[in-house]
């Protein structure tokens, strides 16, 4: 009798641990963007899931630069001239049908500092504590690794 209870308890603990690690293998959450050129934290991004489609907004800046851009003057769509804080920079990202734990599905990401919009693929790494974010324009791409905010 004791062995059966212990086995059930052990199975429950294993299930909880496994499900919590899989829950982190998603881009959903709060992230610190890391500049791919300087290695410095730039901004905090909140990614949310609405009906299986991901979007992300700039929540706050992490830079102490008083001269940092505050609006997206170079944007070419509805975001032109808008404040970067609060701006939706990730749109229409869906799970990749081919590769597990990859999100893209034709979604787009905007660099509000230069107004360029890229096709995006996102891949959680290291148990979901890091997020590889790769933006494509044709065959060319740019990659950043974001860190999950605590």
pLDDT at 48: 98
Q: Which residue has the higher pLDDT, 128 or 99?
A: 128
Q: Is the pLDDT of residue 31 over 60?
A: yes
Q: How confident is the model at residue 2 (pLDDT cuts 50, 70, 90)?
A: low
Start-to-end C-alpha separation, the chain: 42
Q: Would you state the pLDDT for residue 35?
A: 84
Name the percent of the chain lying above pLDDT 90.
67
Domain chopping of the chain, boundaries: 26-148
Mean pLDDT in residue range 13-28: 57
Fold (topology level) of 26-148: Lipocalin (2.40.128)
| Per-residue model confidence (pLDDT) at position 18 | 41
Return the ∠ at Cα 44 (arms to 96 and 136), rounded to 5°: 40
pLDDT in tens, 44-79: 999 999 999 999 999 999 988 888 889 999 999 999
pLDDT tier for residue 124 given thresholds of 50, 70 and 90: very high
8 Å CB contact between 36 and 142? yes
pTM above 0.85, yes or no: no
- CB neighbours (10 Å) of residue 24? 14
Rounded to 10 degrees, the C-alpha dihedral 50/80/143/106 comes to 50
Strands (E), the chain: 29-34, 41-50, 53-61, 88-95, 103-104, 108-111, 116-125, 130-137, 140-148
């Amino acid at each position: 009798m004791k062995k059966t209870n212990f086995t059930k308890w052990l199975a429950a603990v294993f299930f909880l641990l496994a499900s919590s690690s899989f829950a982190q293998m998603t881009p959903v959450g709060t992230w610190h963007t890391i500049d791919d050129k300087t290695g410095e934290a730039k901004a905090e991004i909140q990614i949310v899931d609405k009906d299986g489609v991901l979007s992300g907004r700039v929540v706050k800046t992490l830079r102490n630069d008083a001269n940092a851009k505050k609006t997206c003057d170079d944007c070419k769509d509805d975001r032109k001239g808008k404040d970067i804080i609060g701006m939706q920079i990730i749109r229409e990202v869906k799970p990749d049908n081919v590769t597990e734990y990859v999100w893209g599905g034709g979604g787009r990401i905007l660099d509000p500092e230069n107004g360029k919009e890229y096709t995006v693929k996102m891949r959680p790494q290291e148990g979901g504590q890091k997020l590889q974010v790769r933006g494509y324009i044709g065959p060319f791409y740019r990659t950043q690794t974001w860190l999950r905010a605590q």
